[in-house]
Structure 1
Amino acid sequence: MLASFLIMLREGIEAALIVGIIASYLARTGRSEYVPTVWVGVLLAAALSLFVGAAVLAVGGDFPQKTQELFEAAIGTVAVVVLISMVFWMRKASRSIRAQMQSEIDAVFADDRGPVWGLIGLSFFAVAREGLESVFFLLAIFQQSPGPAAPVGALLGIGCAVLLGFGIYRGGLRLDLRRFFLWTGVFVIFVAAGLAASVLRNLHEAGIWNFLQQPAWDLSRALPLSSVTGTLLSGMFGYHDTPAVGEVILWALVLGVTLFFFFRPAEPSASAPAASPARREA
């Protein structure tokens, strides 16, 4: 439940920030009459995300057991790639996303064809990206954590994101977004590493991966998967009480490599102007 809540909170705030930037810039530049157009794009993006999620579930529900395991491995792989790329995209884009969106809005109004379809497309593609990312993540989490907890957590996350986004847009709420995205990014990386380990488990159950299958450890008595704590850790981080050696190796690789690049200081831009001789002498 916590994993789906935090991921949907993060994804929802990302989408709310983009929509808020578009709406506030339109209002600030005297174009408030076009704000409803933005919501058309948002609703279309939400509908597309729901349709894709329902279609993927419908397709995968009729597979035999081994094919089902392979299907879950494919969904998990997509979810891992999406989660990690989402973290790094937001880390990079957060510095310039406002200026980029405002520039795109100005380009839409400069188009001779008119701004309506351009604004719909701008909001649609911005929100659809977050929505489709969320679909694959939630599918992977729901496969790991059957029951109502994960869907309830996702709905609560979306609801909180909407409220926070509205508060930020109205200007009454100040949120340290840099710190928020930093620490939720770390959490997402741990979730992605757990999903990667579960992908290897699915591939083994599908009969494709049969290497490094000896148990790395056995915590079935100390912390069984069926316990409340074990269930929570499984839903959040892909915990297993008797993981195979290959799963532990893959988990450590994904976690270590991703955290290394995530915390590595950003390199200065090559286009940054060099300091003048007079400034260097000072």
Structure 2
Amino acid sequence: MLAPFLIMLREGMEAALIVGIIATYLQRTGRGAWMPAVWTGVLLAVALSLFVGAGLQVLQAGFPQKTQEAFEAAVALVAVGVLLGMVTWMRNSARSIRGALQGSVDAAFTRPQGAAWALVGAAFLAVAREGLESVFFLLAIFQQSPGLGAPLGALLGVALSVALGIAVYRGGVRLDLRQFFTWTGIFIVFVAAGLFSSALRSLHEAGLWNHLQQPLYDLTRVLPVSSVPGTILSGLLGYHDRPTVGEGLGWALVAFGGLWFFLRPAPAPRLRVQG
């Protein structure tokens, strides 16, 4: 439950931050009357995300067992790429996102007749990106964690992110967004490592990956994945009580490689030499 809660909290905060920047800029430039166009784009993006999620669920239900395992592995691998891409994008774009969005709004009003459609498009693309990312992550995590815990965690994360987004937009709450995105980014890297390990397990069950299948360790008696601590560690870090060598190596590769890439100092901007 905690993993989908934190992921959806972060995804929701990213979307709320983007919409908040657009809304604030419209208000400050005397264009507040155009906000319905922004909300139209947001609603269309949410509808698209729900449609894609439902379509993938229906598609998966019609597959035979081995094909379902392969499909689950594919979804998990896409989710790994999406999660790592999400933290990388925010790390690289945090400084320039405000200026880029404000530039998009200004560009929309250079063509008055198409301003509404341009604003719809800007809000739609911004929120659809977060929504489609969430679809693949949630599909992967729901496959690993059946029951109501994961969906409830995701809904709570979305609800809290909306509340915080409104509070930040109105100035009632000040958050250190840099710290927020840094710590949630570290957590997301570990979640991605767990999903990658589970993808290798699904590929093996589908008969598509049969390498490095020697047991790495066996903690089924000490810390079984069915126990409460094991379930928590499984949901947070992708823990398994009897992983294979390939699953362990895959987890370490994504976890430590992702942390190194995410936490390394950002390159300093190059200075242009005159003359």
**2:113 partner SS:** coil
Match of 2:12 in 1: 12
Please tell me whether the aligned partners of residues 224 and 230 of structure 1 are also in contact (alpha carbons under 8 angstroms). Answer: yes
Match of 2:144 in 1: 144
Match of 1:183 in 2: 183
Match of 2:158 in 1: 158
Amino acid of the structure 1 residue aligned with 2:249 = I
Please tell me whether the aligned partners of residues 194 and 239 of structure 1 are also in contact (alpha carbons under 8 angstroms). Answer: yes
Residues in 1 aligned to 2:147 and 2:235: alpha-carbon distance in whole angstroms: 11
Deviations 1:147-203 (A, max 9, x none): 000000000000000000001110111000000000000000000000000000001
Residues in 2 aligned to 1:266 and 1:235: alpha-carbon distance in whole angstroms: 30
Cα RMSD for the two superposed structures: 1.0
Amino acid of the structure 2 residue aligned with 1:155 = L
Asked whether 1:194 is paired with 2:194, we answer yes
Asked whether 1:56 is paired with 2:56, we answer yes
Mean CA deviation greater in 6-15 or 227-236: 227-236
Deviations 1:37-96 (A, max 9, x none): 100000000000000000000000111110000000000000000000000000111111
Calculate percent identity across the aligned residue pairs: 64
User: Shift of residue 112 of structure 1?
Assistant: 4.8
Deviations 1:210-260 (A, max 9, x none): 111111001001100111111121122211100001000011011111111
Q: Provide runs of 4+ in structure 1 moved above 6 Å.
A: none
Asked whether 1:222 is paired with 2:233, we answer no
TM-score, length-scaled by structure 2:
0.98
Q: Which runs of 5+ in 1 are unaligned?
A: 277-282
Residues in 2 aligned to 1:34 and 1:61: alpha-carbon distance in whole angstroms: 42
User: Shift of residue 113 of structure 1?
Assistant: 3.2
TM-score, length-scaled by structure 1:
0.95
User: Shift of residue 114 of structure 1?
Assistant: 2.8
**1:115 partner SS:** helix
**1:76 partner SS:** helix
Residues in 2 aligned to 1:5 and 1:112: alpha-carbon distance in whole angstroms: 41
Please tell me whether the aligned partners of residues 144 and 238 of structure 1 are also in contact (alpha carbons under 8 angstroms). Answer: no
Q: Which runs of 5+ in 2 are unaligned?
A: none
Match of 2:209 in 1: 209
User: Shift of residue 273 of structure 1?
Assistant: 4.3
Asked whether 1:256 is paired with 2:253, we answer no
Residues in 1 aligned to 2:190 and 2:266: alpha-carbon distance in whole angstroms: 21
- Count matched residues: 274
**2:114 partner SS:** coil
Asked whether 1:127 is paired with 2:122, we answer no
Residues in 2 aligned to 1:112 and 1:24: alpha-carbon distance in whole angstroms: 20
Amino acid of the structure 1 residue aligned with 2:118 = G
Residues in 2 aligned to 1:147 and 1:180: alpha-carbon distance in whole angstroms: 29
**1:110 partner SS:** coil
Match of 1:107 in 2: 107
Asked whether 1:269 is paired with 2:269, we answer yes
Residues in 2 aligned to 1:80 and 1:100: alpha-carbon distance in whole angstroms: 27
